[in-house]
């Protein structure tokens, strides 16, 4: 798709020049016959078109020697102009189709190799922000978008995107839903999002699905359809406004974190069995003393959650640590949790 997008302007210019050349030949012939043969402009145009299209002269042939000589010139110019026009149109159409076909094949081949990636269904107001955040996080993802212009814009930015209907099983298979890590249903219509969730859950039972709900009553339907989490922008927006209105200091702090003004961020880290953290009390690790990372909560494999865990809380294999800290510190915590350091 990126290749096809880049080649369109070049073909546009060639077609424009071919049209200009053809129009110039018609004007040249019409004016010439009008001045030489003293025909009306309408008759001159009629004869010129007959000449350029190689239909031949029937009822109005040139009578003077000068007119016939000029007709020869018009024939030579016209044949070249018409040939250029027709060949440019045909070549541009064939070239565009070939580029589109091979581009889609290359894209499909690339999609078939994706593993543990994310799928974004719809890149409207919500989806476009999600694309931006995943790009910033350097995550592997692909977008399904039915608007060709919007898809071309994302493609030019290096985003993996296919033009298609995300509610179709074929589209989800094309982007490797069976091997994906997660899917975000960001379509503007709740019914479409429900259908996407149902189809995706059927194709990949282990897929983590987050869905957008335009209406509050759609949340329950999306959860029943198989979504792990539902986000209602209008409800979240209302809560954020309420916090900003009644607890401005809290709101400003949260905004500073999400906007990275303080250089801080949240991260979830899963503790591998090979990690040196396993079996240690939280206070005995280097998480707080050396990495300067705050553990907000610990979630056990059983689902039990410890909020603001005490220093004597023991870290176990499979625990998920919710942490806040600077990017480099969180990266160090990731390595520590995976047992790579």
Residue 81 confidence (pLDDT): 66
According to the model, what pLDDT value does residue 5 have? 37
Please answer whether residues 133 and 186 qualify as being in contact, where contact means their C-beta atoms are separated by less than 8 angstroms: no
Domains of the chain: 2-111 (1.10.287.70), 114-231 (3.40.50.720), 263-338 (3.30.70.1450)
Write out residues in the chain with pLDDT < 70, as ranges: 1-15, 54-63, 68, 71-72, 76, 78-82, 85, 89-110, 112, 258-262
DSSP secondary structure, 290-309, as one string: TS--EEEEEE-TTS-EEES-
List, in sequence order, the alpha helices (H) in 226-303.
Answer: 233-246, 248-258, 286-289
According to the model, what pLDDT value does residue 36 have?
A: 86
CA-CA distances (angstroms) from residue 122 to 126, 163, 183? Answer: 8, 10, 11
Distance, in Å, from the CA atom of 177 to the CA atom of 286, rounded to the nearest integer, reads 39
Does residue 210 sit in helix, strand or coil? strand
How much is the pLDDT for 56?
A: 64
DSSP letter, residue 64: S
What residue has token string 């290096």? 158
Beta bridge partners of 324: 266, 294
pLDDT tens by residue, 79-118: 666 677 677 766 666 555 544 554 555 666 667 678 899 9
Tokens of 15: 């077609």
7, 143, 250, 283, 302 from 315: Cα distances, Å: 56, 37, 30, 10, 14
What's the pLDDT score for residue 227? 95
Q: What is the pTM of this model?
A: 0.60
* Contacts with 320 (C-beta within 8 Å, 6 or more apart), sequence order: 268, 269, 270, 271, 298, 299
Start-to-end CA distance of the chain, whole Å, equals: 41
Question: What does 110-129 look like in DSSP terms, one character per residue?
Answer: HHHT--S-EEEE--SHHHHH
pLDDT at 41 (0 to 100):
86
pLDDT given for residue 111 in this prediction: 72
């Amino acid at each position: 798709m990126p290749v096809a997008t880049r080649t369109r302007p070049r073909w546009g210019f060639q077609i424009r020049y071919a049209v200009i050349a053809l129009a110039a030949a018609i004007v040249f012939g019409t004016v010439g016959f009008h001045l030489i043969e003293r025909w009306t402009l309408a008759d001159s145009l009629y004869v010129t078109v007959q000449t350029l299209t190689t239909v031949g002269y029937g009822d109005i042939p040139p009578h003077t020697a000068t007119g016939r000589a000029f007709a020869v010139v018009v024939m030579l110019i016209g044949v070249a102009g018409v040939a250029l026009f027709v060949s440019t149109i045909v070549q541009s159409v064939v070239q565009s189709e070939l580029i589109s076909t091979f581009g889609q094949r290359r894209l499909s081949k690339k999609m078939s190799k994706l593993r543990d990636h994310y799928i974004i269904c719809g890149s409207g107001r919500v989806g476009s922000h999600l694309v931006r955040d995943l790009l910033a996080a350097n995550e592997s993802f692909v977008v399904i978008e039915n608007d060709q212009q919007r898809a071309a814009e994302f493609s030019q930015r290096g985003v993996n995107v296919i033009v298609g209907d995300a509610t179709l099983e074929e589209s989800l298979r094309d982007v490797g839903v069976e091997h994906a890590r997660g899917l975000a249903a960001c379509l503007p219509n709740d019914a479409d999002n429900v259908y996407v969730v149902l189809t995706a859950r059927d194709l990949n039972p282990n897929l983590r699905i987050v869905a957008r709900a335009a209406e509050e009553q759609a949340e329950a339907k999306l959860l029943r359809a198989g979504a792990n989490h539902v986000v209602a922008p209008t409800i979240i927006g209302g809560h954020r406004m309420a916090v900003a209105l009644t607890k401005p200091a809290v709101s400003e702090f949260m905004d500073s974190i999400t906007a990275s003004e303080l250089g801080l961020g949240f991260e979830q880290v899963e503790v591998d069995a090979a990690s040196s953290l396993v079996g240690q009390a939280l206070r005995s690790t280097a998480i707080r003393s050396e990495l300067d990372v705050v553990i907000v909560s610990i979630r056990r494999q059983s689902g039990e959650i410890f909020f603001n865990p005490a220093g004597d809380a023991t870290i176990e294999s499979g625990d998920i640590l919710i942490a806040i800290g600077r990017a480099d510190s969180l990266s160090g915590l990731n390595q520590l949790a995976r047992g790579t350091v």
